[in-house]
Structure 1
Amino acid sequence: MTPPRLPSLPVPTRAAPAAAALIGLLAGAAPAGAESVLRIAMTAADVPTATGMPNNGFEGMRFLGYPVFEGLVLWDLSRTDRLATLRPGLAERYEQSPEDKRTWIFHLRRGVTFHDGTPFDADAVIWNLDRYFKPDSPHYEPPAAGISRARVPLLDSYRKLDADTVAITTTTPASYFPYMVVYLLFTSPASFERAGRDWAKVAALPAAGTGPFRIVKVTPREAVELQRHDGYWDAENRAKLDRVRLMPIPEANARIAALRAGQVDWIEAPAPDGIPSLKQAGFTITTGSYPHVWPWFFNIGAANSPLKDVRVRQALNYCIDREALVGFLNGTAEPSVGWLKASDPNFGAPAHRYRLDPEKGKALLAEAGYAAGKPLSLKVMISTSGSGQMQPLPMNEFLQENLKQTCNVDVTFQVVEWQVLLNAARATPDAPALQGATALNISSPSSDAGIMARYFSSASFSPKGFNFEQWKDEAFDAALATLAEATDPAAIAAATRTAHERLVDNPPWLYIVHDLNARAMSPKLRGFVSPQSWFVDLTRVSLP
């Protein structure tokens, strides 16, 4: 098919002025001086919230989550030759209770303090868990609670065993539970008290975490300033940089312009057509295969949704030209034919192997009642930019034209900001927030069984979890239950393969591409490791 021109889609009016104002701010900024300051241009339209559970998806966690606010369990981001695994964090060790597989015991690291000097201990853990999971708590934070409940839908109860030990119990046994705990971050209770017990004021203090960087200044819509925390508990992994400045620049070309002008040192998701010239100018381009997928989420649960019919969902997966889209993106992605990559040993052997096959797609649509005289129509909610969204406007326009050409599918778009889209994904299928959307374009990690459970388990229907589609497959649920109970690696792998086969043959998503995590950087930057993870380790990075 012929690649479309760059999009003429309508966009929210706030994003462009905000970016223009930011570029002006950067242009007038004073030189960094003797301090080493890393300036990062994010894809977000605003700075992530700074209370300790950032919004703006995993980009918020990447830059204003783990560098500042840590979890009991952390990602091991030290290697590039394998998928990122877990390592002990604020808990020096953890295990399933031998008496009850639903209960996990976390032994806290002693001697850790928050940036404000107050102790991190079992009381601080319980206080934060109440903040996320106890609605009648005086310090309950609804926005952070919504994020945490969706990421950790299995949490049932928790209790303090002693000053250095906490038990967390899940609703059902889950061997992968540590892969959910990694997303629970901890803020100093003293931050809430100093802000007059008002979460809206906590971010302006700024809030205190335990990480290698601390927040020193938050300017909404403009920047967040981080400073190295020299008292970081992990002395071997203290940051090399003096400061990090995080800036929201949602337009890809504006990010490139800021990098070329020397106003930033690192940009997320450069526009693909700008990458060759950036390379020629001496900038460093990093890409790498990692567990991440760029799909459309099908709204199966909405009343009268055409996507209730599995034949329609399968048909759409045969109607798109993934290879052409990869070419359009200048090779910064690879085709997706399932939640996992086809090369993954846990991909399995599904009956359907999706590829561009318009005749098969049209035949399936005709069986479902959508022939030439009655074309299928979809309304897709998409974002202007955002965490892992790559280039959502031109990519979605490509798909719009592609589906019309191959299978006579009519697609319209509702264009919103990234956080609005994320909020919609936690709504029920016919909620007003969805504005009648039959699909959502939200990029997703595909790193572990914990993510698989929260996205696809029938126990995780939105708004409780992240199964926005309200997708239920009994064979998938059975395989997930086997996986959750198993301890033998071979049994876990077999169950994962079975579960993934159901994700392909009974697809809850339109599988489009896996992105390659492209970013562009100043050649002066040293020490960056691009792990097989959505997250990065800023402590390794240095600048002269």
Structure 2
Amino acid sequence: MNRRTHTAIAAAIAAALTLGLGACSSTGGDAGDGGQQGVTTEGNGIIGGTPVKGGTLTILSNQDFDQLDPARNWTMPVMDVGVRMLYRTLTTFKAAPGSEGLKIEPDLATDLGTPSDGAKTWTFHLKDGLKYEDGTAITADDIKYNVERSFSPELPGGPDYAVRYLNAPAGYQGPLKGERLGKEAIEVPDAKTIVFHLKRPVAEFGYTVTLPTFAPVPKAKETGANYSNHPVSSGPYKIETYDRGKRMVLVRNTNWDPKSDTVRKAYPDRIVVDQTLKGTGIADRLIADQGEDRNAISYVDLTPSKISEVLTNPDVKKRLISENAGCTTKLDMNTTKAPFDNAKVRLAMQYAVDKEAFAATTGGPAFNDIATTYLPPVLTAGNPIDHFQIKPAGDPEKAKALLTEAGLPNGFETELVTSTGGKPQAEAIQAALKRVNVNVTITTVDPTAVNSIIGDKDKQPGLANLGWCPDYPSAATFLPMIFDGRQIKDKGNQGDITRFNDPETIAELDRIADMADLQKANTAWLALDAKIMDKSPAVPLVWQKKPLLVGSNIAGAYAHPVWAGQIDYAVIGLKSVG
């Protein structure tokens, strides 16, 4: 969901992980749709019914958490682990599948925030009796302190919305250097009130404060870069042990008051995260469903090599969750490089691409839905929008006609750079474009080199295959990130990969950003998405799904539409104990 989201999808699929979600960048999955049921078999999208209290839930993984420090936690599904189990935020998302899960509820705050000054000032009041794991009181200043930490160069990589939105002095570098923000940015008039002053109106700020940046951190427990090893819990669980890259054990935080928390149910007594599995080990164990693995869930996606084994076994298939992710995989065109500086050529690519063939290389319908606009369903009220109404296999004749209009009746040659693991996806694009006499040379590089090449103006070729995810269900976290030409850099370009620098689009981005009415802004985002589609700096290819297996004794499991299609840890548990 954050700006680090655009990693090469092919490399991620090849590694049995999904496209990076940087808030999110994803280390194990993406975000969900607004109600599509994927291949989940139960009618309400929830597996196993309501859990019982107690028992041990096991989470099977092949990776460590990159960051549990709430000021730095900006990847999926680590954010799910953080804000559902370890710490609370001012508001949070409802624990429900589908469109219901897109709604926010008060968490630490008593309500969803009170805007004033045209949505440039937001006031929140804390609930009574909030405590940390050690029994000390949670105060408004603790939330302010963590927000300030997000400015710290010593704590990089976290959500940058506070930095972008708050009326903070230029050059502010956080509290680790001994400097706190003044009243012009954040006021704390008393222990239970926090007031944010923004540079501009932000109508969806009640959603912004769902991010880990707006969780409390007690200054007395500050350990700088080491805080990730044991963030002080304000949620239902606390860390008992954490051997990084191997095993983390969570136990109940006895100072968490369920009466103050309408979202988290904390069914298991204990949660064990095993981070040592490799290859297909997670899938093999959950398919076999033996012993304690009946009480286990997968942290990472089902590998494509195992999908047929799951789908052909009814007993296993009913334990598979696979929901549409809130991310869009795209074919990005370098609009500064001929012939993609010609809008007619770019429009031809919309018709030339075979999205079905592309989707087949990444697992087919069990892993993907065909994308028909930039904004994913999670940002369009759960309903996909088909802008051009092109058949998924494309329309080569229409593409040829557009190329002829563009003065290229015989096609052209271009280059696509991808990771070594992304060659099958690149070859699907290559074959589709060959049908319209566009000859694509594929250059494969190490996954770690893809972004550095694509982000370098002098090295970037004509085509790339990347993607983007929102930080929360607002197009304000999507379209401005990838189509605002003012953020383009000659080197290290990480946002507007297409180098699309369109004055009309920029003016509309600013106009929408200044809207205080959220509903009007949402309508305007949809209209802008359509306008950018017509200018076609990129071709939307697929909306990924996140296939996850669970054990037969798991209850309350569903893909949350905000947590990258990840299982919602707020309400999961066991069918029976003992």
- TM-score, normalised by the number of residues in structure 2: 0.71
Question: Which letter maps to 1:530?
Answer: A
The residue that corresponds to 1:122 in the other structure is 140
Moved more, 50-59 or 393-402: 393-402
- What fraction of aligned residue pairs are identical, expressed as a percent? 20
Q: Which amino acid aligns with 1:494?
A: T
User: Which sits farther off after the overlay, 157-166 or 521-530?
Assistant: 157-166
Give the structure 2 partner of residue 335 of structure 1: 370
> Equivalent of 1:164, from 192, 212, 223?
192
Correspondence list, 1:71-86, <5 A: 71-82=89-100, 84-86=102-104
**Corresponding residue for 1:532?**
561
Check conservation: 1:316, 1:361, Cα contact below 8 A: yes
Compared CA separation, residues 399 and 453, structure 1 to 2 (3 A): closer
Q: Any conservation in 2 of the 1:348–1:497 contact (CA below 8 Å)? A: no
Contact 2:475-2:522 within 8 A present in 1 as well: no
Counterpart secondary structure, 1:518 = strand
Name the residue aligned to 1:269: 301
- Aligned equivalent of 2:77: 59
- AA paired with 1:504? M
Match of 2:543 in 1: 514
Q: Which moved more, 1:327-336 or 1:227-236?
A: 227-236
SS of the residue 1:499 aligns to: helix
User: Contact 1:294–1:511 at 8 Å: present in 2 too?
Assistant: yes
Name the CA shift for 1:185/1:240 in 2 (closer, same or farther; >3 Å): same
Equivalence for 1:291: 326
Name which of structure 1's ranges 477-486 and 497-506 shifts more when overlaid on structure 2. 477-486
SS of the residue corresponding to residue 164 of structure 2 reads coil
Decide whether the 8 Å contact of 1:218 with 1:224 is kept in 2: yes
1:38 corresponds in structure 2 to 57
Deviations 1:125-183 (A, max 9, x none): 221111112x4xxxx5332xx43116863333321231222222333212123333322
Q: How far apart, CA to CA, are the structure 1 residues paired with 2:373 and 2:462? A: 22
Match of 1:358 in 2: 396
Shift of 1:528: 1.5
Q: Which of 524, 537, 542 lines up with 1:495 in the alignment?
A: 524
1:319 maps to which of 335, 352, 358: 352
Which one has more relative contact order, counting CA pairs under 8 Å at least 6 apart? Answer: 2
Aligned twin of 1:16? none
- What SS does the corresponding residue of 1:255 show, helix, strand or coil? helix
Letter in 1 for 2:538: W
Aligned twin of 2:166: 155
SS at match of 2:357: helix
Distance in 1, Cα, partners of 2:233 & 2:376? 36
Q: Which of 474, 483, 488 lines up with 1:448 in the alignment? A: 474
1:410 aligned to which of 436, 441, 465:
441
**1:217 equivalent in structure 2:** 241
- CA gap 1:414/1:215 in 2 versus in 1, 3 angstroms: farther
Asked whether 1:110 is paired with 2:123, we answer no
Q: Show CA shifts across 1:493-542 (max 9, x none).
A: 53132111123122343311112332111111111233333254313211
Q: Is the 8 A contact 2:144 2:216 kept in 1?
A: no
Q: What is the SS of the residue equivalent to 2:413?
A: coil
2:116·2:122 contact (CA, 8 Å) conserved in 1? Answer: no
Q: Distance in 2 between matches of 1:359 and 1:63?
A: 48
d(CA) in 2 for partners of 1:220, 1:54: 17
Unaligned runs of 5+ in 1: 1-6, 13-33, 385-391
Cα distance change, pair 495–60 in 1 and its aligned pair in 2 (3 A): same
Structure-1 residue corresponding to 2:484: 458
- Identify if the C-alpha distance between structure 1 residues 159 and 428 changes in structure 2 by more than 3 Å, giving closer, same or farther: farther
Counterparts of 1:362 and 1:536, CA distance in 2:
44
Is structure 2 residue 413 aligned with structure 1 residue 375? yes
Q: In the superposition, relative to structure 1, how do residues 254 and 468 fare at CA in structure 2: closer, same or farther (>3 Å)?
A: farther
One-letter identity of the residue aligned with 2:466: N
Superposed CA deviations along residues 101-145 of structure 1, whole A, max 9, x for unmatched, are 312112223322222433321211221111112x4xxxx5332xx
CA contact (8 A) 2:58 2:273 kept: yes
Secondary structure of the 2:365 match is coil
- 8 Å CA contact 1:222–1:247 kept in 2: the answer is yes
The one-letter amino acid of 2:165's match is L
Unaligned segments of structure 2, at least 5 residues = 1-9, 16-52, 169-184
Distance in structure 2 (CA, Å) of the matches to 1:36 and 1:252: 28
Deviations 1:400-425 (A, max 9, x none): 554456642223233426xx97xx59
1:212 maps to a residue whose letter is P
Distance 1:306 1:131, change over 3 A: farther
Equivalent AA in structure 2 for residue 60 of structure 1? V
Question: Does the C-alpha gap of structure 1 residues 269 and 297 become closer, same or farther in structure 2, counting only changes over 3 Å?
Answer: farther
Q: Give the one of 525, 534, 555 matched to 1:505.
A: 534
Task: Report if the CA contact (8 A) 1:80-1:529 is conserved.
Answer: no
Inter-CA distance 409–108: structure 2 relative to 1 (3 Å threshold): same
Counterpart of 1:387 in structure 2 is none
Does the Cα contact within 8 Å between 2:245 and 2:275 map onto a contact in 1?
yes
Does structure 2 retain, via aligned residues, the 8 Å contact 1:108–1:122?
yes
**Residue in 2 that maps onto 1:240:** 267
Q: Distance in 2 between matches of 1:431 and 1:499?
A: 26
Q: Distance in 2 between matches of 1:62 and 1:217?
A: 19
Per-residue deviation at 1:66? 3.7
Over the residues paired in the alignment, what is the CA RMSD in angstroms? 4.2
Instruction: Report what 1:142 is aligned to.
Output: 155
